[in-house]
């Protein structure tokens, strides 16, 4: 950001007074102040939202464990036999 001394600031204000006139200059300063205030509010809100987003971790579901087909005794489980219906006589 450039360093503006009191002499340069006086020249800028004098030129603004000549361009806009003494009646319009206070209105211009007021609207510039409101605009800067709104800009600061909006950038602060965006910064706060980003900060909150970075601080929180997203809800990620826990990984589902993959089950092995091997039983507890180290044997592969056998499928159960389907029940047999007695023949109809």
Structural domain total, the chain: 1
79 domain residue, yes or no: no
Give the pLDDT mean for 6-22. 89
Residue 73 has pLDDT above 60, yes or no: no
Percent with pLDDT over 70 in the chain: 70
CA dist 40 and 37 (Å) reads: 5
Residue 9's pLDDT is: 86
82 domain residue, yes or no: no
pTM above 0.75, yes or no: no
pLDDT digits (tens, 9 = 90+) for 27-56: 988 999 999 999 999 999 999 988 888 887
The answer to whether 11 touches 19, Cβ cutoff 8 Å, is no
Q: Which residue has the higher pLDDT, 32 or 87?
A: 32
44 domain residue, yes or no: yes
């Amino acid at each position: 950001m450039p360093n503006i001394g009191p002499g340069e600031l006086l020249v800028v204000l004098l030129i603004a007074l000549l361009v806009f006139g003494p009646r319009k200059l206070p209105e211009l300063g007021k609207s510039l102040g409101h605009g800067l205030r709104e800009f600061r509010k909006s950038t602060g809100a965006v910064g706060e939202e980003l900060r909150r987003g970075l601080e929180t971790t997203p809800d990620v579901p826990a990984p589902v464990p993959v089950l092995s087909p091997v039983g507890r005794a180290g044997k592969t489980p056998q499928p159960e036999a389907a029940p047999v219906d007695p023949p109809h006589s």
